Structure 1
Amino acid sequence: MKQLLVALVLVLGTTPGWAQWLDRPWQDIPRTADGAPDLAAPTPRGPDGKPDLSGLWNGEPPLARLDPTILEPWVMELALQRQQEYYRSRPYYQCLPSGPEVEQSADWKRIVQTPAMLVILDEELTYRVVHTDGRELEANPVPSWMGYSVGRWEDDTLVVETNGYNDQTWVSRRGVSHSEQLHVTERYRRPDFGHLRVDVTITDPGAFSEPWGYSVEFELAADTEMLEAICDRTSDAWTGNLSDSSDRAVSVPVETLERYVGAYTGVYGGAERTFDVTLSDGQLTATIIRGYTSSGLGAAGLGEGAPRLLVPQSETQFDGLGLGFRFVAGDEGVATELIVTHISGNYTYTRDE
């Protein structure tokens, strides 16, 4: 899906002139005594005295927890249907703009601030224009993928209001939709030279019974450059559904399942993670109890951290919401390792003592 241009990377590794762009020091920025960018330096300001938000920013995807009880029934029904289809209709997987999707609110962004507008450039080649010239949002704009944005200053905070989204985008990669009544409010604060915080509030009476929100923390990515990331193939060729694993389910004795119960700890995405495997009514369930940092909305059955019913495909191999789980038993038949198969590879988790 999203890929850095391999050819560009190869050239960067062989052409000194181009390679300098990725580690070329920026000019005219504050630095510490050792020459590093001084991220704690005072906030830069424009001629009007307001914070200048310009810069190249990088942030971790936020943890957005959404109470499932505020979802309108049609939103939950559609999200669960998309889950069964491995989310293959996600706009991002179709090489379409992600619009207001939570997971695309962070990562790499370049902000260019002028007196009349703020331009936000994303690494996947989409962009937004926030007009700060005093205009107001239109009541009934032509729906668009990225919406229409206006901004105003409240002291040192830039408040951005956006409407006019079409209903083709999602607010979460977990399949959570919105209606064309969606209204997004963002509050941008730059407390010092090297940090930017964005507080986001989502309001959509057609999809959610009350507003909800999340925050994104960015750090200035000084002395480097942003490479483009492109989507060069869609999910049209994806096949299968989650229900397929139930059709292939086999019967496993409860005595065998009992040997798999326990906590298993390993490393995923550079962080320690623990799966807790439990047994109830003859069914195994796996739940991430530590190291869950994904930005899934957390609605029951939707988020990565939601409990996963393990459907047996053999005595040792199970399927759980699209992930493969294989238990490795020791000499006494009790599982000592859990191998979780993800699209990015196999990850080994060792049973906790």
Structure 2
Amino acid sequence: MQRAFVCGTSVLGAIFVICSAGMAQNSPAGQRPAQGNPPAGAQGNRPQQGMARGPAPPVQGPPHDPHDLTGVWNTRRGYGGNSYDRQGPEMTPWGQQQFKLAKASNGGEYTLQETNDPVITKCYPPGVPRIYLQPFPLQFVQTPKEVMILYEYDHTVRHIFTDGRKHPDDLTPTYMGDSIGRWEGDTLVVDTVGFNDKTWLDRAGRPHSDQLHVVERFQRMNQNDLELDVTMEDPKALAKPWNAHIGFQLHPDWNIAEQVCADNGDFVSFEK
């Protein structure tokens, strides 16, 4: 049976983010377990995000093409997290002031009066790289001209153009930005600009401006392990670049399910 996830915000009583999984216990082959405890092996033998990165995983399993990232992946850490490390970035005075105004959702234990997280209260797309902190997997799809990332969270689709084009001069700011990619050896380097300033860098509330510049470096280490190094630069919000590392594990039997963020208070005009 197909699974469907609905994450919504309600305006009645003590309010929580609710993610419901339908028919999870009887999931057929090709369907992953319902959200909750990470599936067995999801953590792998690699360090969790926010911890020192150890040596690269050894080559294991069948031969792999390092330029082929296709498949469904989930963070090795498991499901979600408020940030990428315990220290956080060095922020500018503007960034520090904005951070003081943020009311994090603390992993879902909150009421709408206790958080101003725009992803929770307004169903905004999380942006990059915060979307990797959302507790849902992603799928890579590759064509000769682009790499697409299909995020299960709110059915977000990201286009990374690899045909040699440059960023447009007249970019309209968006939640996920404009992404172009190139291969440096076995590493896919993704350069993203053109963000709006409506989202956070992480779930803890660290801000960014429309000057945010994100560089991601994806490297498939073996058949089952994908490593991502992220550099965030924002002269308005960050005093110096913020570097993060995220590890992913391949799940060949998983499919991307339907997951919808619904703001029951004002779903159609949530950006007003």
TM-score normalised according to structure 1 size: 0.54
SS in 2 for 1:130: strand
Is it true that 1:9 corresponds to 2:23 in the alignment? yes
Deviation per residue, 1:126-179 (Å, 9 max, x gap): 110000001112344110111010000111001000000001111022221111
Q: 1:130 to 1:230 in 2, by over 3 A?
A: same
Question: 2:69: which partner in 1?
Answer: 53
Query: Residues 216 and 229 of structure 2 are in contact (CA less than 8 Å); yes or no, is this contact kept in structure 1?
Result: yes
SS in 2 for 1:171: coil
Question: 2:114: which partner in 1?
Answer: 86
Question: 1:19: which partner in 2?
Answer: 28
Q: 1:225 to 1:216 in 2, by over 3 A?
A: same
Higher relative contact order at CA 8 Å, sep ≥6: structure 1 or structure 2?
A: 2
Identity %: 34
SS in 2 for 1:230: strand
Query: Within 1, Cα distance between the matches of 2:234 and 2:178?
Result: 16
Is it true that 1:229 corresponds to 2:229 in the alignment? no
Q: Which residue of the other structure, out of 194, 197, 207, is the alignment partner of 2:224? A: 194
Q: How far off its partner does 1:180 sit?
A: 0.8
1:55-134 equivalence runs, <5 A: 55-59=71-75, 60=77, 61=80, 63-67=84-88, 70-83=90-103, 86-102=114-130, 104-105=132-133, 107-124=136-153, 125-134=155-164
Query: Within 2, Cα distance between the matches of 1:105 and 1:168?
Result: 17
Q: How far off its partner does 1:234 sit?
A: 5.8
Q: How far off its partner does 1:89 sit?
A: 3.7
Query: Within 1, Cα distance between the matches of 2:182 and 2:133?
Result: 20
Query: Within 2, Cα distance between the matches of 1:153 and 1:216?
Result: 19
Question: 2:201: which partner in 1?
Answer: 171
State which structure, 1 or 2, has the greater radius of gyration over its C-alpha atoms. Answer: 1
TM-score normalised according to structure 2 size: 0.68
Q: 1:92 to 1:163 in 2, by over 3 A?
A: farther
Question: 1:203: which partner in 2?
Answer: 233
Query: Residues 74 and 248 of structure 2 are in contact (CA less than 8 Å); yes or no, is this contact kept in structure 1?
Result: yes
SS in 2 for 1:112: strand
Query: Within 1, Cα distance between the matches of 2:70 and 2:239?
Result: 36
Deviation per residue, 1:193-229 (Å, 9 max, x gap): 1111110000111111111111110000122323222
Q: Which residue of the other structure, out of 154, 158, 163, is the alignment partner of 2:184? A: 154
Is it true that 1:142 corresponds to 2:172 in the alignment? yes
Q: Gaps spanning 5+ residues in structure 2: where?
A: 1-6, 8-16, 33-58, 105-112, 267-272
Q: How far off its partner does 1:3 sit?
A: 4.9
Query: Within 2, Cα distance between the matches of 1:110 and 1:206?
Result: 32
Query: Residues 160 and 187 of structure 1 are in contact (CA less than 8 Å); yes or no, is this contact kept in structure 2?
Result: yes
Query: Within 2, Cα distance between the matches of 1:100 and 1:205?
Result: 17
Query: What is the RMSD computed on CA atoms of the aligned residues?
Result: 2.6
Query: Within 2, Cα distance between the matches of 1:198 and 1:105?
Result: 13
SS in 2 for 1:83: coil
Query: Residues 187 and 200 of structure 1 are in contact (CA less than 8 Å); yes or no, is this contact kept in structure 2?
Result: yes
Deviation per residue, 1:264-285 (Å, 9 max, x gap): xxxxxxxxxxxxxxxxxxxxxx
Figure out how many residues of one structure are paired with residues of the other and give that number.
210
